Amino acid sequence: MAFVETPSPTVPLDALRDTDPEIAALVRAEERLQGETLRMIASENYVSAAVLRATGSVLTNKYSEGYPGRRYYEGQQTVDPIEELACARARALFRAEHANVQPYSGSPANLAVYLAFAKPGDAVLGMSLPMGGHLTHGWDVSATGRWFRSSSYGVRRDTGRIDLDEVRSIALHERPKLIFCGGTAVPRAIDFAAFAEIAREVGAVLVADIAHIAGLVAAGVHASPMGHADVVSTTTHKTLRGPRGAMILCGAEYAKTVDKAVFPGLQGGPHNRTTAAIAVALREAATPEFGAYARAVVANARRLGDELAACGFDLVSGGTDTHLLLIDLTSRGVPGKPAAKALDRAGIVVNHNAVPFDPRRPFDPSGIRVGTPALTSRGLGEEHMPRVAEWIDRVVESVRTGRDGVEEQVRGEVRELMASYPAPGLPVD
Ligand SMILES: *Cc1c(COP(=O)(O)O)cnc(C)c1O
């Protein structure tokens, strides 16, 4: 398929091998693992060789506290244009007036949003973690839940979809300063317009955290929060297929506030190699090939959902509009953790996950979360999804029955298939 690039050797490991054979061997082992397995962690992906190269560049040697044209260090002849390019591409791709590409990752980006728009003790509202929200949306073990008066909304029991009536009634009661929408285990499209209406009614700042779906939004496969949310935060390493990093997008009126919150509010020098790699990823994401990729991600997830449902799996909300599926394994008589561990041994990498109204404990929940971004980056298409569903079915069933040999068998089949679909950025053996 067109969006799969020819793999090319990454930065050579020779220097690493000479200096630190232990780490070199582990990196090599990770390359093998990423090559041989079916990676279905919904937040993971494969970056291109170009993105990988930028992250392994001499830009790691540079300090550049401040912003382009306003730095606290000299020697910014190349760093300034790199960051300007990254910001310009982010603004163009997401149709935002302002972009800040310096947050070290998604969690610090969200912390910067709190710093910009709220004060400790203020009320904030986010989706509850076990319902699919993120820790940084006010969950109690996170600083955001300890330093702010947070409340949370969830999904409806009957539909598995976000309960907007609940969002509105909590918002009216708590009068939050910030309302977060977006999550980590939300299979259905987020209705940004509906959240915006509630935020307007109660005078809250609406934050759309599109960390998971940024690539889908960039490609127009998921509706954009622009024009609805006051602030948009996102990671760059999930469906967007960039390096580990993050961005904050907003209107011109919030530009200064957001920039000041990131630096000097929260961070020191930006990670310039990441900025460069974000710029490369944004350039890639603006191509028609990336559009085809994003559409294939969703088509694969939908097809996989259909196939899993046909095998008797119980999908939260009945399916997906995005890149991920949340599977409630209760009806299969197997908890999420042993299922995820068995799948890992079988070469299919997923994570155990709480399902809405989960009666089990968070460390040992009822479900697993699976996603299609990484396997689609390797060129797997809808035609492969029946096979993937069948593997998951066989492995989960073997956990229930205790049947031996299934994991080894599936692992071999997975390895054989993946050998025909080389991963972007990985060296070919
Ligand atoms: C992944 C994610 C984050 C956090 O990103 P990190 O880079 O892991 O800190 C924040 N919000 C949402 C919704 C996410 O899915």
Residue 41 lies in a domain: no
So what's the pLDDT on residue 40?
98
Q: Which of 128, 134, 237 to mutate to test the pocket of ligand 1 (most atoms within 8 A of CB)?
A: 134
Q: Tokens standing for 412?
A: 């071999």
Index of the ligand 1 atom closest to the CA of residue 137: 11
Query: Packing angle between helix 385-401 and helix 288-310, nearest 10 degrees?
Result: 40
**β partners of residue 70:** 67
| 12: confidence class by pLDDT, cuts 50, 70, 90 | low
Could you tell me the two tokens for 234? 């996102």
- How many structural domains compose the chain? 2
Catalytic residue among 149, 244, 341, 415: 244
159 and 224, same domain (yes or no): yes
Residues 258 and 372 in one domain: no
Task: Please count the other Cβ atoms lying within 10 Å of the Cβ belonging to residue 44.
Answer: 16
Q: Is the predicted pLDDT of residue 1 greater than 50, yes or no?
A: no
Ligand 1 centroid–CA 172 distance in Å is: 27
Q: What is the pLDDT of residue 11?
A: 53
Of 241, 239, 247, residue with least CA distance to 270: 247
Q: What is the pLDDT of residues 243-252, one digit of tens each?
A: 999 999 999 9
214 and 236 together in one domain: yes
pLDDT at 170: 98
Q: 407: domain CATH number?
A: 3.90.1150.10
Backbone torsion region of residue 75, taken as left when φ is above 0, otherwise alpha when ψ lies between -120 and 50, otherwise beta: left
Q: Are residues 257 and 306 in the same domain?
A: no
Q: Does 24 fall in a domain?
A: no
Residue 28 lies in a domain: no
256-267 tens-digit pLDDT: 999 999 999 999
Which residue range is the domain that position 99 belongs to?
58-285
Beta strands 246-250; 98-100: pairing state: antiparallel
- For the cut 60, the answer to whether the pLDDT of residue 122 exceeds it is yes
Tell how far the Cα of 132 is from the centroid of ligand 1, in angstroms: 12
**Both 314 and 347 in a single domain?**
yes
pLDDT, tens only, 172-199: 999 999 999 999 999 999 999 999 999 9
| Residue 307, domain member (yes or no) | yes
390: exposed, middle or buried (Cβ count in 10 Å: 0-12, 13-18, 19+): middle
Transcribe 108-151 into DSSP letters.
HHHHHHHHHH--TT-EEEEE-GGGT--GGGT-TTSHHHHHSEEE
Mean pLDDT across the chain: 96
Last residue in a domain, options 259, 285, 311: 285
Domain for residue 190, yes or no? yes
